[in-house]
Amino acid sequence: MKKLVQLFLTTSIFFFLFSCQSQITDSCQLEPLSFNGTFTEVQNNVFQPYCVGCHSGAQAQGGLDLSANAAFVNLVNASAANSSLSLVKPGQPGSSYLMKRLRATDGETPMPPSGKLEQRLIDLVDLWIANGANND
């Protein structure tokens, strides 16, 4: 009899865990966060947390201010200090110096210098530029 109770309990726990797990999997489908590729998303998820520490105010590194209200005009169709490319060329992520620094594929110091951002954030900036680099 004791064995039967144990078996019953073990089975119930198993089903309880199993059903929980499928629920967890469902809520996990919210990850990875999907972005629409707006400038607001770029400012809030990339520039604000990872860049303005060095790129803001009078001491902005590389002469590039990426703080809110400054970043858009300083990037879109603006010349880069270190390259003949524009920092952001609307519709052309591959010709935008900003993407070269985020990807650091040409042996340049990555931005941020401590190491590349997670891929989904690099993809977000790429998507924003591909979408036409709008102020949205």
* Chain residues in the site for ligand HEC (CB under 6 A): 46, 50-51, 53-55, 61-62, 64, 80-83, 87, 97-98, 101, 109, 111-113, 117
For ligand HEC, the closer of residues 112 and 131 by Cβ is 112
> What gap in Å lies between CA 31 and CA 86, rounded to an integer?
33
Distance (Å, whole) CA 29 – CA 24: 9
Read off the tokens for 18.
């199993």
CB of 125 to ligand HEC, least distance (A): 8
- Using the minimum distance from each CB to ligand HEC, give the nearer residue, 13 or 81: 81
CB nearer ligand HEC, residue 27 or residue 115: 115
Instruction: Judge contact between 41 and 128, C-beta under 8 A.
Output: yes
Between 45 and 131, CB nearer to ligand HEC: 45
Contacts of residue 87, defined as CB under 8 A and 6 or more positions apart, other chains included, come to 64, 74, 75, 76, 78, 79, 80, 96, 97, 98
CA 99, 101, 104, 107 torsion-angle sign: positive
Least separation in angstroms between CB 93 and ligand HEC: 13
User: Cβ 83 to ligand HEC, closest distance in Å?
Assistant: 6
CB of 32 to ligand HEC, least distance (A): 18
* Shortest distance, position 131 Cβ to ligand HEC, whole Å: 17
Place of tokens 């199993």: 18
> 62 or 90: whose CB is closer to ligand HEC?
62
